[in-house]
Amino acid sequence: MNQSRISIQEYYNLDLEQRCMRRYLTQMSTEDLKTVLANGSLTDKERTAVLEELNWRRRFYPESSTSEKTPSKSYPALFVISGIMKAIAWLIYLAGIIAFIGFSVVAAETYSYGGNIKVMTGFIALIASIIVGTGWLATAELIKLLIDISISNHSILEELQKK
């Protein structure tokens, strides 16, 4: 979901119905919404929509969390480790597919008593690579999740220390 910000000018370029839609109001910063509200040239419907959006933001996002600042800790080394683990997971998936195809081709070329065993070995390699690769992928995502939790905790701690 890619939500880019729209400026005040872009807001005024929208038609009346679009200016009242939450879809467009959520793409504006809180400061821009306050500026639009202070302008005074809004219809009742527009004023109601902007006020509802501002009240919603106040209720669900405290004023301190709406600032668009970068977190103080970003843990770049852990992001790199997570990316490497994700790449390893995809290599494991690829190795499993290649093993399955390789064993199947060998079994087709030398179709004899051992042909079924080779196909089963390739299938087992494929299933094993899916399981192991998924473990590596899940670990990479877990590292990203822990980074996000840590950044959130640090920002909450900073806000509490300010008060």
Q: What is the DSSP letter of 66?
A: G
User: What count of other Cβ atoms lies within 10 Å of the Cβ of residue 57?
Assistant: 17
Stretch 56-66: mean pLDDT: 64
Cα–Cα dist 30/35, whole Å: 9
pLDDT per residue as tens digits for the range 14-49: 888 888 888 888 888 888 888 888 887 888 888 888
Residues 6+ apart with CB under 8 A from 96: 125, 126, 127, 128, 129, 130, 133
Highest mean pLDDT of the ranges 9-18, 110-119, 141-150? 141-150
Domain positions in the chain: 8-66, 76-162
Q: Are residues 5 and 28 in contact, defined by beta-carbon separation less than 8 angstroms?
A: yes
Percent of the chain beyond pLDDT 90? Answer: 29
